[in-house]
Every structure is written in C-alpha cells, then in structure tokens.
Amino acid sequence: MARSLAFLIPFVSLIAVAPCTLQGAETVWSGLVIADNVARPQPIPPELTRIEGPLKKFFGYNQFQVIGQSQKTLNTGQEDWLATSKFFGLHVDAQGEGAAGYVLNLKLYKEKELLLETDAKLSKRSPLVIKGPQVGSGQLLLVLVIQ
Amino acid sequence: MKTFEEKWTAWLDGQLSGRELSEFEASLPDRATAEAEKAGARKLGALLKRELGASLLTNEEFFSHQVRERIRENTAPSAEREAKGSAWWTIPRLLWTGTASLAVFLIFTILVMRDKNPAEESQYLTQILNARVDPVVSPNATVSMFEVKQDRVTVLWTEGLQSLPADYAAK
C-alpha cells in the first residue's frame, strides 16, 4: 500500500505538470467566412463547430461558409501568412508568443484596399471573431482559432 | 605469639582447645565474670545472626542490584538512544513521510493555482489590443469589442463598413 502510493503520487503529479511545461508547435486556423440566412443551410464547416453556438447567437445567421482559409503551424511565433478568397485577403503577422497565446497583427484587404487593421493577443483557448463588411445579404466574418 | 586480646576473642568464639585453653583459663583473673561475659557474647551473636541475617542478605542483593543497574545505565544509554533514533526512521515510515510531504505540496500548489486563476482568467481570453478602419474608405465606421467569457470567444464588432455586392462572397 505505502509503496504503491509512493509511486502513484509522483506519477500523477508528473502527468498533471507535464501539459503546463510542454509547449509544442501549434496550428492557427484563419478563415474568411460568409454568414447568411438561407432556407436550407449547409452544415457548418468542421473548423467552426466549436464556436457554432456563439456564431449563431451573436450574428443571427444560420449558415456559415468558408470562402478562404489558411492553416499555419507556428514554431517560432514570428511567422506571417495570408488567407485569401477571390476578393478578400487576411494577412496575419505573428509578433511573438506569450504565456497565454500569440500577439498577432491582422489586416483585412479588399483586393488591394486595406479595410481593417487590428492587433490582438490570440489565446490558445479562445477564438477570435471579427465582423467584416456586409456582403450582399450576408456578412463577412474573420475567424481565428488555435487548433 | 598470640596477644591476650587474640586469645580472649578465640576463647569467646570457643576456638581454644587443649593446653592453650587450660593455660588461658588459668590466666583469667576472674573466671566467673569471664564466663558470664562469654555467655553474653554468644547470646548476642546468636541474636544478631537470627535477627539480621536475612536483612543483611537482602541489603547485599539490593546493593548488588543497584550497582549492576548503575553500570548498565553508564554503558547502555548511548547505544539505546541510537537504536531508538534509527528505529523510528524505518523504510515504510520514510515512504509515508515522503508521500505525505508530496501530497501536502500538491494540495498547496493546487490551492495557489486556483486562487491565481480567477485574476488571470482574462489572460486566457483573446484580447484585442487596438483596431482601426480606413477613414477614407469607411468614414462612418466604428469598432467595438467584447469578450464572452461563457463561450471563451472574443468578438471585434464593426459598424458602418462599406457594404459590398454579393459577388464579393465568391471563393
């Protein structure tokens, strides 16, 4: 009994501490999403499944379609990348990794025209949603999620 | 050559015999007094043997016991103390002590982390540091931001951006 406890407790504590100390490469999914209301909505893309509820609640649309996306694995936290659709481009510039996530500079372009710029600290457990311009009867949304 | 006192003691103890006895008894100035004294001495001897014999033996044993105890106390205590000290830290007790210390450490760590988390909860939500729109393209645009802690989602909300035709929704 005593021997098994003596082995079990350090083992459990190591398992508990390990996730805090291990920091591997992480992947950021960035997407250009068109939200609109239709009679027969398409299933939500898998990248958005975890925020389906908040998306529907905040924006009031029943369909979300990805028109452009990018998946970037961050190793240094200093990478930059682009998610594009036919007319829009989202440029993401990672500017360092903190304890809680990554500092990102985001720029939304319509063709070559800068519409919106923001700096954000993207948390590993908290997605970022940006409401873009109205497009037809729908809405352009920018979504960033650390996977 | 024995002195008178030696011969007197031997006579009282009945250890003189033969010629030596007759010569000593003849040398006594008062034979009756000497005989009375001899009888008294024998009575006293018998009485002492009878009354004190047992207690003397007891005292002797008690004394011997006390001496043995003192000797043992002088030689044994350091060894006993060492034996008692080392006997307490047995391997199972060491294991239990180590395990208990580790458990206490973990409990305190968890408590400290729990106390720390609420204050740092906002760190685990995405934070928008700043946002701006092109005032030339969208002069009436405004931006606001909010965090929904329940869903762990941060939203940058824009109003007044230039609306675009549906063609712009193309992939």
Q: Is the pLDDT of residue B118 over 60?
A: no
CB pairs under 8 A between A and B: 159
**Domain presence at residue A132:** yes
B96 Cβ under 8 Å from any chain A Cβ: yes
Q: Which of A85, A86, A116 sits opposite B158 (nearest CB)?
A: A116
**Domain presence at residue A11:** no
**Domain presence at residue A64:** yes
In chain B, domain spans: 4-78, 90-119, 125-163
Token pair in block for residue A33: 């999403």
What is residue A2's three-state secondary structure? helix
Range of the domain at A141: 25-146
Token pair in block for residue A64: 């979300």
Instruction: Find, in chain A, the residue whose alpha carbon is nearest to that of B128.
Output: A120
Share of chain B above pLDDT 70, in %: 84
B132: which strand partners? Answer: A117
Q: Which of B103, B156, B171 sits opposite A130 (nearest CB)?
A: B156
Across chain A, mean pLDDT equals 86
**pLDDT at residue A22, rounded to an integer:** 42
Q: What is the pTM of this model?
A: 0.58
Single-letter code of the amino acid located at B162: Q
B63 sits in the region (left: phi over 0; alpha: psi -120 to 50; else beta) called alpha
Per-residue pLDDT averaged across B18-42, rounded? 87
For chain A, how many structural domains are there in total?
A: 1
8 Å CB contact of A121 and B157: no
Of A89-103, B33-47, B80-94, B100-114, the range with the lowest mean pLDDT is B80-94
Looking at per-residue pLDDT, the higher value among B29 and B99 belongs to B99
8 Å CB contact of A117 and B132: yes
A87 Cβ under 8 Å from any chain B Cβ: yes
B104 Cβ under 8 Å from any chain A Cβ: no
**pLDDT at residue A20, rounded to an integer:** 43
Other beta carbons less than 10 A from residue B131's beta carbon: 19
**Domain presence at residue A63:** yes
Which residues does chain A have within 8 Å of residue B92's beta carbon, measured at their own beta carbons?
2
CA B156, CA B145: separation in Å to the nearest integer?
4
Which residues does chain A have within 8 Å of residue B102's beta carbon, measured at their own beta carbons?
9-10, 13
8 Å CB contact of B168 and A128: no
Across chain B, mean pLDDT equals 83
Residue B38's Cβ-count burial label (10 Å; 0-12, 13-18, 19+) is: middle
pLDDT tens figures, A42-78: 999 999 999 999 999 999 999 999 999 999 998 888 9
**pLDDT at residue A21, rounded to an integer:** 41
The residues near A26 (Cβ < 8 Å, ≥ 6 apart) are A73, A74, A124, A146, A147
**Domain presence at residue A8:** no
B99 half-sphere exposure, CB direction, 13 A CA radius: 17
**Domain presence at residue A7:** no
